Amino acid sequence: MSFHKEHELHTRRKGRNIGLGLTLVALICIVFGLTVVKVTRGDFEPPRGQVEGN
Amino acid sequence: MSDATINSTVNQPEAGFGDYVALLKPRVMSLVVFTAAVGLLAAPGAVHPFIAFCAILFIAIGAGASGALNMWWDADIDAVMKRTARRPVPAGKVTADEALGVGVALSGLAVTMLWLATNWVAAAILAFTIFFYAVVYTMWLKRWTPQNIVIGGAAGAFPPMIGWAVATGGVSVESVLMFALIFMWTPPHFWALALFMNSDYENAGVPMLTVTHGRRTTRTHIFVYTLLLAVLALGAGVTAIGGPIYMAVAVVLNAMFVLGAWRIWRRDEDSAALDKYLVEKKFFRLSLLYLFAHFGAILAEAALRPWGMGGW
């Protein structure tokens, strides 16, 4: 297997692709962070009465 | 995409990541971030810092998305106006369809994420804001009536209400007052700009007040709206968002703003042309300080409240 020579398009769009990649990583971090905050605050726990009723 | 099509675009301007960011109108975004943050921090009740950060981010993304939709729809007039000719779509770096895609995708992301992170009221106001700016203002009012920026200004006035709704889950007199402050500020701000950028709007066929009713009428409108704004801004000072700091800032800045508007009203076109619209340009710059200082004062009152010093 041989390595291809990098297409000119990839060089030209390097900045755009890195920017998009970093944006997606930031989005993942934000969703993860929000999940951690909401779980630790108990936002997803059922109301107390409902748990006792079970 | 084949190699042929890829290579055929080599000599055309290539959009960088920054061009897609420019679609979101970062300068407008900074005003949105600031006023939304003030609305959030001035509201009663605490919001987790990370959730507050995310909420402001999603509000900013929503505002940016409506900016991209505006650039998609207005590409034809942006190309004619000097002030907007270098935007990514008229400059040929980003296609109008790409701007539409970015706008729609980010609108959906921002509203959904704000709902999941905070509450449906904040998300609903954000969705309405995007709709109002992209559809009511951009597609309908802007090319139809000289009252375009009066009514359309509502879109820029919603962010503090969204910030307030993030913290409280609702709407109140205080949040409506913050909305009204930006709403009333927008016409004199844009009409002052239109006075010294008049040919731009005329060339683009945008029915700004300067084009449809003349500069004399515009000068009168600036003065009347500034008086109404001053009454509103000082009135807001005696509510829960006001206090001594806010009142001091409001008295000084409204006096300066009314004086500036009065000078604009008194001038005729000959003297304005003679000094290259110096008074109008100064008024426009003051209008930026005006809004930032008023919201800064609301923030200062809220920040001092835990120590028993903010507010009345």
Q: What is the pLDDT of residues B233-269, one digit of tens each?
A: 999 999 989 999 999 999 999 999 999 999 999 998 8
In a domain, B138, yes or no: yes
- The answer to whether the beta carbons of residues B134 and B66 sit under 8 Å apart is yes
Q: Which residues of chain A does B18 touch, with a Cβ-Cβ cutoff of 8 Å?
A: 19
Among A37, A40, A41, which would you mutate to test the B interface (most chain B Cβ atoms within 10 Å of its Cβ)?
A: A37
Indicate if B142 and B88 belong to the same structural domain: yes
Sequence-distant (6+) residues with CB within 8 A of B186 are B149, B150, B152, B153, B156, B157
How far the first Cα of chain A sits from its last, in Å, is 62
Question: What distance in Å separates the CA atoms of residue B310 and residue B230, rounded to the nearest whole number?
Answer: 22
In a domain, B44, yes or no: yes
Domain boundary among B123, B145, B171: B171
Please tell me the predicted confidence (pLDDT) of residue A11: 79
CATH assignment at residue B138: 1.10.357.140
Tell me the two tokens of residue B62. 């929503």
Q: Which residues of chain B does A39 touch, with a Cβ-Cβ cutoff of 8 Å?
A: none
Please tell me the predicted confidence (pLDDT) of residue A15: 86
Say yes or no for a CB contact (<8 Å) between A8 and B50. Answer: no
Question: What distance in Å separates the CA atoms of residue B287 and residue B101, rounded to the nearest whole number?
Answer: 34
Domain boundary among B130, B153, B171: B171
Indicate if B203 and B135 belong to the same structural domain: no
Categorize the per-residue pLDDT at B22 as very low, low, confident or very high, splitting at 50, 70 and 90. Answer: very high
Per residue in B130-172, pLDDT tens?
999 999 999 999 888 888 888 888 999 999 999 999 999 999 9
Which chain B residue shows the shortest CA-CA distance from A16?
B17
Question: What distance in Å separates the CA atoms of residue B212 and residue B29, rounded to the nearest whole number?
Answer: 30
Which chain B residue shows the shortest CA-CA distance from A38?
B117
In a domain, B222, yes or no: yes
In a domain, B49, yes or no: yes
In a domain, B1, yes or no: no
Domain boundary among B150, B171, B192: B171
Indicate if B214 and B272 belong to the same structural domain: yes
Question: What distance in Å separates the CA atoms of residue B122 and residue B36, rounded to the nearest whole number?
Answer: 11
Per the structure, how many domains does chain B have? 2
Q: Which residues of chain B does A30 touch, with a Cβ-Cβ cutoff of 8 Å?
A: 54, 57, 113
ipTM (interface predicted TM): 0.79
Indicate if B128 and B160 belong to the same structural domain: yes
In a domain, B10, yes or no: no
> Regarding predicted confidence, which is higher, B161 or B203?
B161
Domain that holds residue B26: 16-171
Say yes or no for a CB contact (<8 Å) between B14 and A12. Answer: yes
At residue B3, does pLDDT exceed 70? no
At residue B287, does pLDDT exceed 90? yes
Indicate if B210 and B133 belong to the same structural domain: no
Say yes or no for a CB contact (<8 Å) between B50 and A19. Answer: no
Q: Which residues of chain B does A6 touch, with a Cβ-Cβ cutoff of 8 Å?
A: none
Give just the sign of the alpha carbon dihedral B123, B57, A17, A28.
negative
Say yes or no for a CB contact (<8 Å) between A37 and B16. Answer: no
In a domain, B4, yes or no: no
Say yes or no for a CB contact (<8 Å) between A34 and B54. Answer: yes
Q: Which residues of chain B does A19 touch, with a Cβ-Cβ cutoff of 8 Å?
A: 16-18, 20
Indicate if B161 and B180 belong to the same structural domain: no
Indicate if B103 and B177 belong to the same structural domain: no
